[in-house]
Amino acid sequence: MKLSARIAAPAAALVLAGLTATACAPQTSDNSAKKDEKAGTLRVWLFQEVNNKPKEQVVDAAVAAFGKEHKDAKVEIEYIPVETRAQKIKAAFNDPKSAPDLIEYGNTDTAGYVKDGGLADVSTEFTDWDEAKDTDPTARQSVTVGGKIYGAPLFVGVRALYYRTDVFKELGIAAPKTQDELIATAKKIHKAKPELYGLAVGGAYTYGAMPFIWAQGGELAEESGGSYKAAINSPAAQKGITAYTSLFGDDNCPAAKCASMGGNATVTAFASGKAAMAIGGDFSHQAVEAGSVKGKYAVVPLPGLKAGETAPAFAGGNNIGVLKSSSHRTLAVDLMKQFAGKETQRKLFDAMGFLPTYTDVRSEVAKKEPFVDPFVKTLGAGAKFVPASPGWGQIDASLVLPTMFQEIVSGKKDVAAASGDAAKKMDAAFAAAG
């Protein structure tokens, strides 16, 4: 199976590449379509993958199936670079004449694109869609803003704990069952094998740190009446921050080397044999298989506070939505359902390794490909999402949380001061976003 290298960081990369533009951009003027034509050409923008051919074949099959039901409609597909999509999509929101009818977008982009007035509210059509009832609740949340639905989830990506079976066997230790065990095991391994990070961690690895915060009952922010207030400085969140930052130091992952690492760097450290454990995604599988640890590792859900518990993971991934300016709304919604439907998601998993957003389809693919099982279990235990505010893009792009972690691990600030400062920055971004 080939996995897409592009989703090696489905959230961080998407946010940094895209939301900086949407979070600060002025809201577009009303560009709602004035008609709903039942014939003509539908234009679609999808993301260009590193290895795009398999995706193209799945998309072509979906277009052919759509064509059989809609004889008077044609479909034009354009694959756009992920890195520059923010400018291109923003321009489309401002110029309906050049805009596509459908776009693929990162799930952390939703709130920003809704604020920009670009995506159509498809709540009624989504709710009436029979297949939608099997959508994972977190995936559904990723297309929901203010109680309204702005697209359909296309795939999800989630992280779990990769560990070296040969190292664990040599040292006579078992995979950790709790968060405390995880931290203790990491330090035990580094003590026995100083050349290895026990657990590779990164000060810039926001989505690797979040499970520690969520496991302690902490939240990034709290929502009330449609507005968000930072909660990163709450006592529960501070416990999680303390747990995560305790992994930086000479007894596991030295701050001088690990403070600047992001998610890709931690996975690379594991794949190249420099770490005994790492928090990696289903989308990291290809990179690990291509590394020196092939055949010498296993994956389990990241443990929570108690044995048997799974720490909540961030649910990354992509969605597909109809633009508000589309003059072919009914056709575009039907095509959205074709792209995001169960049959296409099955094919996308086979072709690209994208995890389906439907709970029943995920169970099917887990039986087919055993490596998927710990990620499916992680999603089943309840994954979480970032605040559905356009302000989140600014928070992520300005590295509020990495700065907080780095201030703590460098000794510049304690957890209370660093999380308090981060909360102030988050609240400013939430307020600016409205």
Q: Cα(122)–Cα(143) distance, rounded to whole angstroms?
A: 10
Q: Where are the beta strands (DSSP E) in 303-376?
A: 316-322
Is the whole model's pTM more than 0.95, yes or no? no
From first CA to last CA, the distance across the chain in angstroms is 43
Tell me how crowded residue 299 is: count the other CB atoms within 10 A of its CB: 23
Can you give the pLDDT of all 434 residues of the chain as single tens digits? 333 333 333 333 333 333 333 334 444 456 677 789 999 999 999 999 877 899 999 999 999 999 999 999 999 999 998 878 878 998 999 998 889 999 999 998 899 899 999 999 999 999 999 999 999 998 999 999 989 999 999 999 999 999 999 999 999 999 999 999 999 999 999 999 999 999 999 999 999 999 999 999 999 999 988 899 999 999 999 999 999 999 999 999 999 999 999 998 999 999 999 999 999 998 888 889 889 999 999 999 999 999 999 999 998 899 999 999 999 999 999 999 999 999 999 999 988 889 999 999 999 998 989 899 999 999 989 899 899 888 998 898 899 999 999 999 999 999 999 999 999 999 999 999 87
According to the model, what pLDDT value does residue 85 have? Answer: 84
Best CA proximity match to 346, nearest among 33, 18, 62, 8: 62
Tell me how crowded residue 292 is: count the other CB atoms within 10 A of its CB: 12
Question: How do strand 221-224 and strand 297-300 relate by DSSP bridges?
Answer: unpaired
Sorted by sequence, the CB contacts under 8 Å of residue 147 that are 6+ apart come out as: none
Dihedral angle, C-alpha 230, 232, 233, 234, nearest 10 °:
90
Give the C-alpha distances (Å, rounded to integers) separating 217 from 75, 224, 424. Answer: 46, 18, 20
Best CA proximity match to 197, nearest among 163, 165, 243, 159: 163
Q: How many residues does the chain have?
A: 434
Are the beta carbons of 410 and 236 closer than 8 angstroms? no
Are the beta carbons of 135 and 153 closer than 8 angstroms? yes
According to the model, what pLDDT value does residue 23 have? Answer: 38
Are the beta carbons of 178 and 303 closer than 8 angstroms? yes
According to the model, what pLDDT value does residue 30 have? Answer: 66
Are the beta carbons of 361 and 157 closer than 8 angstroms? no
Tell me how crowded residue 384 is: count the other CB atoms within 10 A of its CB: 17
Helix (H/G/I), strand (E/B), else coil: 234: coil
